Structure 1
Amino acid sequence: MAFAFFVVISHTVQLAGIDDLYVLRVIFSSDTAVQAFFIISGFLTINSFESSGRKVGDFYLRRFLRIMPAYVAAVLIFCALGVGQALSYGRHVELAGIFRYLVANLSLLNFLQPTIDGVFSGNPYPEINGALWTIKVEVGFYALVPLLCMIGSRASFLSVAIVLIAIGILWPSGLKFAADAGFHLHPSLGHQLPGQFAYFGLGALFYWVSRADQRTPLAAAIVVATALACAGLGEFRMATQVVVLSTLIYWVIHLPQIMPGKRPDLSYGIYLCHFPIIQLLINWRGWSGGEEYLLLLLVPAAAIAYAMASWRVVEVPSMNFGKRMTANETRN
């Protein structure tokens, strides 16, 4: 959940324009936190598929019910709140704009319609929920997990990890080569699935290590080689992220559980809601004269409250439904 709060702090400083606290955006980098999510996701989803008996249908159903109900709820709720706030201020909001926004975002194509005219139009950034782009990347990786696990079981998960990492670190160079050749591709492609393979590949590497501890030295050598390759290609930030995040997440994965027992997993809910909460608060009033620092308290508090409600009302019932469905299929 710490990485979720990194994103919250970074986006609060960015969206509210708190220039005096720009250093927090560097320390609590949202970009780095998202890459950490992808590494953890690579490890957890492969582990989930392998431990569930490699039942493709059950895996897809459970992943869908873990991700999409809470995602759909967040899109609908914050669209309604944003539109309602805009109308209360006397702003004109077209029904067609709302429809286009919902179609694009509910289908995970957020880049097609990130905002609605009249909603947050007075904010420094007009996007309603600019954090949602990562969800389609996650879903795209989920779609590939059964294939990756099939290859991993026949060859090795080490080879899967190396191939994913290689594709990921070569992707930025490929985009630059295409641009030099006259093919000007959309800049967002640099953040999409092929470009994130390196981080999912590190997650696959950690899964391979988790099967036998004596593999750790080789894995460490691969991480170092990955960082050196990134640096050699001029991707120094990526090189740093690879080393720092790999070291941190490796120790987190191998730490003994401090608080045993079931606990709410609020990280997903916090991630889904924090961006529009910031936008709503900024749009609500002018934050100046030091008042903007209050956002660093208000946003996390509101995000936790929403995440708790999402966990209890949407996420847990959806996951339990998925467990019942897959249990019924197993019995049949």
Structure 2
Amino acid sequence: MLVIAGHALAVVFVPSGMPERLERSNPIWLLMGSPWAGVWVFFVLSGYLMGKGFYSGRYEQSQESVRGFYRNRMMRILPMYYAVLLIVSVLVAPQIFSAGHLWEIVALGLFSLQSQAPTPVVGALWSIQTEMAFYAMVPLLFFILNKTVRVLPPWLLIVALGALGFTYRWWVLKETQNVGCISRAYVPLIANLDLFMIGMLANWLVPTASRIWKKVPTLPIGLSVMVLAYIVSAYVFVQASYGVHHVKYFWYAINVGPTFTTLVALSCILLFESHVASGKAAGAISGRAIAWSQSAGVLSYALYIWHEPVLVQLRTVANHDLTSGQAIAASIVAVGLSVVIAFFAFRLIEMPFERKKMDAPRKVLAT
């Protein structure tokens, strides 16, 4: 939802005169979630959940189990990915089927097309390509981490990985002077590997956190952390995009942002999992928020992969200059239409393949 809200109001349907609005402290930026932060949260959560599959014993490090893991990931990702690639290419970018562009659709099909390609079809597909590379590495990464945590504490590995990721992004920004750094500090696998691996390492911290925070109200604390982090990330992203001091804020957004977002996501994982382990019931407001987020989560992949072409096409029929009200209204219409398309895509494409995923016996890994 961070990505979709950010793409809608902070990228596609941007109110006119944003620099002046920010100078006047116009609060509309509060509605502009940071799409960058959304992707970083996604990578951390993905690392946690992929690692949890092996940590919990659902998957084992045997050839048969690893093949089951890969098969399940393909059943989850490939049908929707190829469907949006085909449909959007035919309707919006038919030139990609010409001889001169055919290599692009082949590269997209093989998850290897760069986001700066002449015909990206759907720009958001770069993160799916990165995620597929992570999936390919999961069994090996888990094997390495499972051996390493027997020698070094997981929190120390998290600190080391966070420092390495921060240093890499700092070095890229210094070398590029912010020119072309998106392709080197935001998109590449190496620039996001620390986020994914820290997410995986969260599995070894959850049991300890659950014991220590057993009597702590971790659910409201976690929700409060999410709200505060949303405000901070939205402000920095909007300032980096449209503010007078955008160069300074861009450095914070692209270099500090991933590390900050990783720590927030890691904290929320530990807080929410501790709440589950405590057996406490959620309050009325928290319970509704959880139910709503789970409903949205069912459509999350379909919504993520379809929202961008919907936004881009609707922008072509909207006014060039938008007032705040027009921008908000256009964003609501675009998101609503994206939800409708995502719902039918989920029912017709994703759900049939979801039923074909292989289940696996579960056993808890000794800690």
TM-score range, shorter chain: 0.7 to 0.9
| 1:175 counterpart residue number | 172
Give 2:309's match in structure 1, choosing from 276, 284, 295: 276
| 1:129 counterpart residue number | 122
Q: Aligned Cα RMSD in Å? A: 3.5
2:111 alignment partner, SS class? coil
The verdict on how the C-alpha distance between 1:305 and 1:255 changes in structure 2, with shifts beyond 3 A counting, is: farther
Which 5+ residue runs of structure 1 have no aligned equivalent? 85-91, 117-126, 218-232, 328-332
Q: Structure 2 matches for 1:79-228, cutoff 5 A?
A: 79-83=89-93, 95-96=98-99, 99-111=102-114, 114-116=117-119, 128-156=121-149, 158=154, 161-175=158-172, 187-191=182-186, 192-213=188-209
C-alpha distance after superposition, 1:64-105 (max 9, x if no partner): 221121111111111222147xxxxxxx88723553442232
> What amino acid does structure 2 have at the position aligned with 1:165?
G
The separation in 1 between residues aligned to 2:354 and 2:36, in whole angstroms, is 28
2:355 alignment partner, SS class? helix
Q: Structure 2 matches for 1:312-323, cutoff 5 A?
A: 312-323=347-358
The verdict on how the C-alpha distance between 1:97 and 1:287 changes in structure 2, with shifts beyond 3 A counting, is: farther
Q: Does 1:52 align with 2:58?
A: yes
The verdict on how the C-alpha distance between 1:305 and 1:216 changes in structure 2, with shifts beyond 3 A counting, is: farther
Q: Does 1:16 align with 2:13?
A: yes
| 1:87 counterpart residue number | none
Q: Quote the offset at 1:323 in angstroms.
A: 1.9
User: How many pairs are equivalent?
Assistant: 286
The separation in 2 between residues aligned to 1:101 and 1:242, in whole angstroms, is 32
| 1:124 counterpart residue number | none
The separation in 1 between residues aligned to 2:300 and 2:135, in whole angstroms, is 18
| 1:40 counterpart residue number | 45
Q: Greater relative contact order (Cα 8 A, min sep 6): structure 1 or 2?
A: 2
The separation in 2 between residues aligned to 1:152 and 1:170, in whole angstroms, is 21
The separation in 2 between residues aligned to 1:104 and 1:193, in whole angstroms, is 16
| 2:328 counterpart residue number | 293
The verdict on how the C-alpha distance between 1:282 and 1:98 changes in structure 2, with shifts beyond 3 A counting, is: farther
- TM-score, normalization: structure 2? 0.66
The verdict on how the C-alpha distance between 1:254 and 1:268 changes in structure 2, with shifts beyond 3 A counting, is: farther
Q: Quote the offset at 1:144 in angstroms.
A: 1.6
The verdict on how the C-alpha distance between 1:104 and 1:138 changes in structure 2, with shifts beyond 3 A counting, is: same
Q: Does 1:304 align with 2:339?
A: yes
Bigger shift: 101-110 or 34-43? 101-110
- TM-score, normalization: structure 1? 0.72
Give 1:267's match in structure 2, choosing from 300, 319, 322: 300
The separation in 2 between residues aligned to 1:287 and 1:253, in whole angstroms, is 46
The verdict on how the C-alpha distance between 1:295 and 1:186 changes in structure 2, with shifts beyond 3 A counting, is: same
| 2:234 counterpart residue number | none
Q: Would the aligned equivalents of 1:9 and 1:25 in 2 still touch at CA under 8 Å?
A: no
Q: Quote the offset at 1:271 in angstroms.
A: 0.8
The separation in 2 between residues aligned to 1:249 and 1:69, in whole angstroms, is 29
The verdict on how the C-alpha distance between 1:185 and 1:240 changes in structure 2, with shifts beyond 3 A counting, is: closer
| 2:226 counterpart residue number | none
State the percentage of identical aligned residues.
Answer: 22
The verdict on how the C-alpha distance between 1:281 and 1:177 changes in structure 2, with shifts beyond 3 A counting, is: closer
Give 2:265's match in structure 1, choosing from 245, 270, 290: 245
